[in-house]
Structure 1
Amino acid sequence: MAPRPVPPPRTAGAAALAALLLATGTACSGGSDGSPNAEVAQQSAARDRVGTLSIHSAQGSRACTASVVRSPGHNLLVTAAHCVQNQQVGLLDGLVFTPGYRNGATPYGTWQVQSITVDPRWADDDDPDYDVAFVTVGALGGRQIEDAVGGNPLGTGKGVGLAVSVTGYPNDSDEPITCAVRTRSQSSTQERFDCGGYTDGTSGSPWITGDGTVVGVIGGFQEGGDSPGTSYSVAFDQRVADLYRKATT
């Protein structure tokens, strides 16, 4: 039987969740090897589909980055699985998504996370080859998130060597950063890119091609990367296509 999206079953204190998320929502990069460094992302309608995952409110403890993907319910985000579940706490509750967040402004409001879908191999073992999650958010003001900001199509089976932009929110910044890079193979199940600046909070940042397709999110190996200059993603292949199908049926 295909697993279904399940609402978070456990409650933990905000302080405990914050400490855990700040520890795990990591994708560390630098520029010491000559790779480029990310720059502040200029505001655009497309970038407003990317936002922060935080605890309880837009001003709450910052966890990770997520983005809106197209779905039949118009209510779906994609992020890294370690941003929303791990062996220590289980499925996290109290998370909210704020698209287009900048300098305290919430131009599209803050959307409550309702359900989370991860692969059983992540849920059971924190397997880095399945570090991707789909998250639904509730309606706000009678509208679904995709109707408010649009959504990017999900792309699987695209291979490596793709030109992408990666936009995300470091925890120490109130503005998103972005970098134009090219994807590379890390292994048969993992991909990578080289660009500095993707520190704590940028896990879950979408890898977006020129036509707006999401082909990766920061996560996977080393929960997104713990060495300067490199970030990782699970290869968006049939595993991710299957997970998306479970999240939308």
Structure 2
Amino acid sequence: MAAGAIAGLVSTSGVVGTAGAADARPVSSPATPGTSPSAQAEPRWTAAAAQRFWTDRRMAEAKPLPDDRRPAPAEAPSPDAGRPLSQRAGVGPGSSHFGGLPMIGRMYVQRGSGSYFCTASVINSPHHNIVLTAGHCLDSRAGTGSLAFVPQWTAARPRPHGIFPVDTDSRGRSQVWIDQRYYDRGHTKGAPWDVAFVRLGARSDGKRVQDVVGGNALVTGRGYAFPRVRLIGYPSTDRQPLTCTNSTTRFTPTDGTPGSYLRIACDDYRSGTSGGPFLANFNTHTGRGDVVGSIGGWKTGGPTADVSYSPYFASDIRRLYDAAVAGAPPARPGVLSQ
């Protein structure tokens, strides 16, 4: 890498103070003028390939990623573990399983011989092909293919809207946008940037995901306190997603993790829910809302299942979204050492 390029990366991904962590500019290369995502090379990972690989059985047997929402080392198992949700006494409102929403689903990942998933949601975009999930779900897997998004997955209806492959470039690398600082600093020091935008390819009939299931608006810079947020995620091996509504508050860690985070109390959001959207202004008639956060950030979403966290969605997140929409070259792990 040229010295000037390295200097540019260092200057934009250098250490920032806690107060400004959420507002510092992320590292991303500008898009080539006049180039849109549709001008990319022919993908190697197609909808047909995704359908063949992600069978109903493989999806049903998939598990949450091993590093997703790990409990704190000293945390004792919950006395409610294994009880039905209706019998649990958590710290937040009771969560409930439901049939899901069309624009929220599972993001499937293959790692070695294992099949895994996180939660992801469709974000309104000009090209109708962007979804949001947690950075820690994809930070070590962004260079590989075989990623796919399945909207509104349930065990009873595993692919009600089809399957959408994650786009790959001419080298077969998945098109995933994560802030360079998250790659460089890891899950703790990089927690304010635990966000990933993913560009999807078309369904087998050529339709884009937003045209099929709709999407939610990305909202940034609106603060931490929202009176009513609907939280949706796919926990563990449950047959349906969870939903819960509660208010959010600001949380600033005292353990050395930089930044501040949205916090919401909702029961039983276990591993697998990471990437699940925080939906403000949710309209029960349309099933849509404003995405003001996504499960992740501090302790990759929280050390317990009954309180969830999100990075603060400020200008950093907006710029990362803009880079994904423009098709700017994504950051990659270890770019400074290459």
Which TM class, normalised by the smaller chain length? 0.7 to 0.9
Matching residue within 140, 143, 149 for 1:97: 149
Q: Which runs of 5+ in 1 are unaligned?
A: 8-17
Whole-angstrom distance in 1 between the partners of 2:310 and 2:244: 15
Whole-angstrom distance in 1 between the partners of 2:185 and 2:28: 18
Higher relative contact order (CA 8 A, sep 6+): 1
User: Is 2:121 aligned against 1:61?
Assistant: no
Cα deviations by residue, 1:86-134 (Å, 9 ceiling, x for unpaired)? 3xx6645322110011124211111111210010101222211100010
Give the CA deviation at 1:204: 0.2
Cα deviations by residue, 1:190-228 (Å, 9 ceiling, x for unpaired)? 111111111010000001112411000000000011124
Residues 48-197 of structure 1 correspond to what in structure 2 (within 5 A)? Answer: 48-55=102-109, 61-86=115-140, 91-105=143-157, 106-114=159-167, 115-126=175-186, 127-140=190-203, 141-162=205-226, 163-187=228-252, 188-197=259-268
Whole-angstrom distance in 1 between the partners of 2:274 and 2:320: 19
Whole-angstrom distance in 1 between the partners of 2:242 and 2:150: 16
Partner of 1:13: none
Supply the AA of the counterpart residue of 2:213: V
How many aligned residue pairs are there?
233
User: Is 2:323 aligned against 1:246?
Assistant: yes
Whole-angstrom distance in 1 between the partners of 2:263 and 2:299: 11
Supply the AA of the counterpart residue of 2:69: T
* Cα-Cα RMSD: 2.8
C-alpha contact 1:167 1:176 (8 A) present in aligned 2: yes
Q: Flag the structure with larger Rg.
A: 2
Give the CA deviation at 1:37: 2.7
Matching residue within 247, 251, 274 for 1:203: 274
SS of 1:146's partner is: helix
User: Is 2:54 aligned against 1:2?
Assistant: no
Whole-angstrom distance in 1 between the partners of 2:304 and 2:268: 11
Give the TM-score normalised by the residue count of structure 1. Answer: 0.84
Give the CA deviation at 1:170: 1.0
Give the CA deviation at 1:27: 7.0
Whole-angstrom distance in 1 between the partners of 2:62 and 2:183: 20
Whole-angstrom distance in 2 between the partners of 1:20 and 1:177: 16
Q: Which range moved further: 220-229 or 140-149? A: 220-229
Change (3 A) 1:121 1:21: farther
Supply the AA of the counterpart residue of 2:166: V
Give the TM-score normalised by the residue count of structure 2. Answer: 0.63
